[in-house]
Amino acid sequence: MERFNGIAASRGVAIGKLHFFDNCQRPVQLARSDSPERELERFESARLRALKTLDDLHTQAVERVGPEDSMIFGVQQALLNDRDYISGVRDLINQEHYVAEYAVQRTGERLAQMISQLDNVYLQERSSDLLDISGRVVRQLNGELARDLSDIQGQVVLVAQDLLPSETVQLDQSKVQAFVTGGGSRTSHASILSRTMGIPAVVGLQEQLSQLRDGALVVVDGFQGVVIQDPDEATLEEYLGKQQSFLEYRRQLKRLKGAESRTLDGKKVVLCCNVNQPSEVRLVLENDGEGIGLYRSEMLCLEREEFPSEEVQFQAYREILEGMSSRRVVIRTMDLGADKKLPYLPLPAEQNPAMGCRGIRLSLQYPDYFKQQLRALLRASVYGKLAIIFPMISTLEEVREAKRLLWEVEAQLRSEGLRMERPVELGVMIETPAAALISDMLAREVDFFSIGTNDLTQYVMAADRNNSRIDSTLNDPCHPAVLRLVRIAAENARARGIWCGVCGESAADVRLTETFLRMGISELSVAPASILELRKHIRSIDLSAQPQRCPEPV
């Protein structure tokens, strides 16, 4: 029996025989052409065919994993349309007379190498997208068929050095019980998709992958990130029991649809969802979300080549409000800047963009764009229960200026005879230590708080959450310094009679649920897939008893 430790990417237990999938991209050999014009035509034709394939994959992915995780293919389409990528290939063809295949490979590798060296985990993951789209274009140029898994016989545990998004989304769950990869991380596309699809997965085995044998019996423990090759009888029996327990747990969760999110002593908690796209309303409703606690409106900008017009924004906000009917939808005004840069909104380089011109700071510097968004929001307010929240607040003046612009827009709309629902609830994100510390003053200006624990933690701990070199303990929302600021904001909200929620990743962290509720948090906003599990946990908490789960004294 051999035990290998990797990264737990997707929960669950699988027992099956290993099946190796050879999906390595064969390197293209250097070759030149005496007709750059022909190579340019070949490249453009192959690029367009690859875009069509990605569009088909996106349609397939929406059906299998929903719109949120299908965005991966939209990202790849955007990369394939990126001017730097296209010009990089064309320059190599024109200047070096490379054949299209080699120019595509070289450009993809160069850009992927640049991105992989950035201190930003999200952007690092885009390097695999660049290699994926380059390989897709090369296969189009060579007339190769897409690699598939149709030769699998029976149920197997798939093994590969890495799985591309296009390969992961096409996995047949009746055949693939789990997968194991040498590369990857918990935030890689394959890991994200595996969680959505419910396929147990362990990634990041690195050189240990070479010790696995094709056809060997293995146990894949997606909870602990462990692969056990040639398990003995006792280990098999243990994991068969874990497998059945997890299946029963999933069945119990499904029975909680329609149930109240209420503690044993009667405290009602509102469980809402964080979303990026109006199309994700379906996921919110399927998972019994009680509202939308955070709609990231800046996603409308990131998927376009120009700033979205008032009408484009209005239609998006209307769609999400109508979809949620009478359930509250909290729409965050655009949180741009930092790692969310726009090619059509050139911003000066900043040494520390996470602490620079972002969120409400950027909105107030570009009031025309900001008022355009506020107009769209107020116009859409008649189609549902809208609440507006301002991000990255640090001062009272920022809140008052944002409100002044909102009132100005409201007056304009009234003069134009346009309908709107007023008053709309207004809130602020508590993401900076400053906002938490002056939350007693902020509470007099707004109707609610939403605590963004992801940013709050990095600012309190002076630890960039996207920097892989930073010890993960420095980005732990359980740290007493973070929890003390959460408590301050929650208590000041309660004292003023306004509600206070949490919308960061820690909202779904069951280590903190009881702590948050005891502080006075009344709403938790999480990913749709986390709703039922969090509801089950809340229904087991008794706030009238002695605290059980407060991780640190605060």
Q: What is the CATH number of the domain that holds 90?
A: 1.10.274.10
Tally of CA atoms within 13 A in the half-sphere of 243 that contains its CB: 17
Q: Structural domain tally of the chain?
A: 3
Alpha helices in 143-257 (DSSP H): 165-168, 189-197, 233-254
Residue 417, amino acid: G
What's the mean pLDDT in 479-500?
Answer: 97
- Of the residues 272, 273, 357, 503, only one is catalytic, namely 503
* Cα gap 10→382, rounded to integer Å: 41
3-state secondary structure (DSSP) of residue 184:
coil
Q: What pLDDT digit, counting tens, does each position of 337-382 carry?
A: 755 556 667 677 676 767 788 899 999 999 999 999 999 999 999 9
pLDDT for the residue 169: 77
Structural domain of residue 181, as residue ranges? 2-23+148-232
Least confident of 45-49, 125-129, 521-525: 125-129
Q: Is 296 annotated as a binding residue?
A: yes
* Cα gap 208→212, rounded to integer Å: 7
Q: Is 38 annotated as a binding residue?
A: no
Task: Show which of 142, 161, 185 is a domain's final residue.
Answer: 142
pLDDT for the residue 429: 98
Shared-domain flag, residues 83 and 157: no
* Cα gap 263→403, rounded to integer Å: 36
Shared-domain flag, residues 294 and 385: yes
272 is catalytic: no
> Would 247 be classed as within a structural domain?
no
Question: What residues are paired with 20 via a beta bridge?
Answer: 159
> Would 223 be classed as within a structural domain?
yes
Q: Is 375 annotated as a binding residue?
A: no
Q: Is 327 annotated as a binding residue?
A: no
Least confident of 12-26, 65-79, 284-298, 335-349: 335-349
Which of the 8 DSSP states describes residue 268? Answer: B
pLDDT for the residue 361: 95
Q: Is 454 annotated as a binding residue?
A: yes
> Would 168 be classed as within a structural domain?
yes
> Would 111 be classed as within a structural domain?
yes
Shared-domain flag, residues 430 and 515: yes
Q: Would the pLDDT of 539 be above 70? A: yes
* Cα gap 36→42, rounded to integer Å: 10
Q: What pLDDT digit, counting tens, does each position of 41-67 carry?
A: 999 999 999 999 888 888 877 777 766
Highest mean pLDDT among 109-113, 123-127, 386-390, 506-510: 386-390
Give the confidence band of 132 by pLDDT, cuts at 50, 70, 90.
Answer: confident
Q: Would the pLDDT of 122 be above 90? A: no
Percentage of the residues of the chain whose pLDDT score is greater than 90: 60
The order of strands in the sheet holding 176-181 is: 2-5, 226-229, 217-221, 13-20, 156-160, 176-181, 201-203, 7-10
Shared-domain flag, residues 107 and 157: no
Give the confidence band of 466 by pLDDT, cuts at 50, 70, 90.
Answer: low
Q: What pLDDT digit, counting tens, does each position of 66-75 carry?
A: 666 677 788 8
Q: What pLDDT digit, counting tens, does each position of 234-272 carry?
A: 999 999 999 999 989 888 889 999 999 999 999 999 999
Q: Pick the closest to residue 483 from 519, 450, 448, 508 (CA basis).
A: 519
Question: What residues are paired with 4 via a beta bridge?
Answer: 227
189 is catalytic: yes
Cβ count near 64 (within 10 Å): 15
Q: Would the pLDDT of 333 be above 90? A: yes
Residues 6+ apart with CB under 8 A from 175: 149, 152, 154, 155, 156
- Of the residues 189, 272, 357, 479, only one is catalytic, namely 189
Shared-domain flag, residues 278 and 390: yes
> Would 265 be classed as within a structural domain?
no
pLDDT for the residue 69: 67
Supply the Cα-derived Rg of the chain in whole angstroms.
25
Judge contact between 196 and 65, C-beta under 8 A. Answer: yes
pLDDT for the residue 194: 86
> Would 259 be classed as within a structural domain?
no
Average pLDDT along the chain = 88
Residue 188 vs residues 67, 196, 241, 475: alpha-carbon distances, Å: 17, 13, 30, 20
Domain containing residue 14: CATH number: 3.50.30.10
> Would 50 be classed as within a structural domain?
yes
Domain containing residue 414: CATH number: 3.20.20.60
Q: Is 404 annotated as a binding residue?
A: no
Shared-domain flag, residues 483 and 436: yes
The pair of structure tokens assigned to 109 is 């590798």
Shared-domain flag, residues 111 and 153: no
Shared-domain flag, residues 108 and 159: no
* Cα gap 111→182, rounded to integer Å: 23
Task: Show which of 202, 232, 262 is a domain's final residue.
Answer: 232
Shared-domain flag, residues 411 and 480: yes
Shared-domain flag, residues 322 and 291: yes
Shared-domain flag, residues 68 and 92: yes
* Cα gap 224→9, rounded to integer Å: 9
Task: Show which of 113, 142, 171 is a domain's final residue.
Answer: 142
> Would 347 be classed as within a structural domain?
no
Shared-domain flag, residues 291 and 173: no
